Amino acid sequence: MDDKTFRQIWKKLMESDKITIIPHLNPDGDALGSGLGLYWTLKKLGKKVKIYNKTTPLPYYLDFLPGFDQITNQYPKDTQVVVSVDCGDFDRLGIEERPPFLINIDHHYTNPNFGDLNLVDRGGPATAYVVYQLLKRNRAELTPEGATGLYTGILTDTGNFQYETVTGDLFRAVADLVDAGANPGWIGQMLYQRDRLSRLRLLAKILDNIRLLLNGKVAFSFATQKMFRETGATKEDTETISSQLRNIGPVEIGLFLREEEDGSVKVSLRSKEKVDVGKISVKLGGGGHARAAGATLPNTSIEEALKIILPLIEKELKATGVLEESTKENSPKKEIESPHLQQITKPEPPDISEKKEESPLSVTSSPNSPTIEKV
Ligand code: AMP
Ligand code: MN
Ligand code: MN
């Protein structure tokens, strides 16, 4: 990222009036945080700036971000310049046509520089950190609202400052964001102390189904549509699961599969220190980073998806020396054929007729009981 690009992007933004910022589809803390970080400064400079995302609903756990309620799902037709934030490729923007001018701000190492101007910190900690540098180098003012977004983006994309991407310079930027009005205590509370009972109930089911595969180097679990119906949880409630799976002591890779409403399977991968899961995701038609990556496999089942993914994981584990070449008794084939897995991943018919009347006093009843569900 050279000085010239920082200047060119700012010049283009200052010359333009109707600007649309687009964080990636199914946005996370970095996508919305970096988008809103830029949004507030441009707004203060008098620009007609909009922030667009096609995903509805947006993840509820990010609703504390200042400007969250201004995010529109109507693409502004008269846009002169689009700024894509945290999008590893053009498809992640959720727009069909290329805009008149496209600025690409990101940190995915797989980013093919799809913009007219590209500011890509390949392998860097967060897009929010790139936006921070863009504002600082051009002496633009940070607002408390924008600083809150940028802090959130950095916090969430570094696993709360745990990853190898964290540097002294990043901490100095974070200190500056705090001075500008980001409140770490409040943001931490908003992100981590507003949990929902339905999410914990789903988590209990997911954790109960964990299986260790490939010599214990892979921790795998999944969520089916039935599990969502039974707990009342929603898909964004699974955001932290693949990291939790990876966090098990001897495990190198956390693999989480989520059955989607449209019949696709969402793949989420995390690694600890050796395997580049971004590489695996790219082979699955997705993308991501070395330690966190994802993909969506259309028209498939969890079981079928596992059959495709495990050999790719096995190959990488062997290539990086995490797994020895001959671990026959732990081959993925054997695991897939396990009757237990067949049983737990078998698609269930919709449970329309499953609604049973339950006594409000029955404390051992299912979580669907109305008396205990509304917490
Ligand atoms: P997730 O496991 O969904 O939290 O995603 C981890 C990382 O992988 C994110 O930073 C995304 O940039 C990337 N990613 C997830 N899903 C996809 C996808 N379908 N296509 C491309 N990249 C993805
Ligand atoms: Mn992201
Ligand atoms: Mn990011």
**CA of 241 relative to ligand 3 center, distance in Å:** 17
Q: Is the dihedral angle over the CA atoms 151, 292, 346, 250 positive or is it negative?
A: negative
> 280 pLDDT band (50/70/90 cuts)?
very high
**CA of 137 relative to ligand 1 center, distance in Å:** 29
User: What is the rounded (10 degree) CA torsion for 211, 289, 63, 99?
Assistant: -140
Q: Is the dihedral angle over the CA atoms 311, 312, 313, 315 positive or is it negative?
A: positive
In terms of pTM, does the model score above 0.95? no
φ, ψ of residue 320 to 5 degrees: the values are -95, 0
Stretch 133-156: mean pLDDT: 97
φ, ψ of residue 219 to 5 degrees: the values are -105, 125
Stretch 319-339: mean pLDDT: 62
**CA of 288 relative to ligand 2 center, distance in Å:** 8
Stretch 236-265: mean pLDDT: 97
| pLDDT score, position 105 | 98
- Which amino acid is present at 68? F
Among the bound ligands, the one closest to the CA of 128: 3
In terms of DSSP bridges, do strands 292-297 and 287-288 run parallel, antiparallel, or are they unpaired?
A: antiparallel
Q: Which residue lies with its CA nearest to atom 12 of ligand 1?
A: 288
Q: Determine if ligand 1 sits within 6 Å of the CB of residue 295.
A: yes
Q: Determine if ligand 1 sits within 6 Å of the CB of residue 280.
A: no
User: Contact 267/305 with Cβ under 8 angstroms?
Assistant: yes
Q: Determine if ligand 1 sits within 6 Å of the CB of residue 293.
A: yes
What domains appear along the chain, each with residue ranges and CATH number?
3-192 (3.90.1640.10), 198-349 (3.10.310.30)
89 φ/ψ sector (left φ>0, alpha ψ -120 to 50, else beta) = beta
**CA of 28 relative to ligand 1 center, distance in Å:** 9
350 vs 207, more confident:
207
Q: Determine if ligand 1 sits within 6 Å of the CB of residue 29.
A: no
User: Residue 187 to residues 149, 178, 261: CA-CA distances in angstroms?
Assistant: 9, 11, 31
| pLDDT score, position 366 | 39
326 vs 334, more confident:
326
pLDDT at 352 over 90: no
**CA of 27 relative to ligand 2 center, distance in Å:** 6
Say whether 262 sits in a helix, a strand or coil.
Answer: coil
Among the bound ligands, the one closest to the CA of 127: 3
pLDDT at 374 over 80: no
22-31: pLDDT as tens digits: 999 999 999 9
Share of the chain above pLDDT 90, in %: 86
Q: Determine if ligand 1 sits within 6 Å of the CB of residue 94.
A: no
Q: Choose the residue to mutate in 221, 238, 242, 268 for probing ligand 1, maximizing ligand atoms within 8 Å of C-beta.
A: 268
Q: Which residue lies with its CA nearest to atom 15 of ligand 1?
A: 294
Work out which ligand 1 atom sits closest to the CA atom of 30: 10
Work out which ligand 1 atom sits closest to the CA atom of 24: 12
Work out which ligand 1 atom sits closest to the CA atom of 269: 2
- Which amino acid is present at 16? S
Distance of CA 279 to the CA centre of its chain: 17
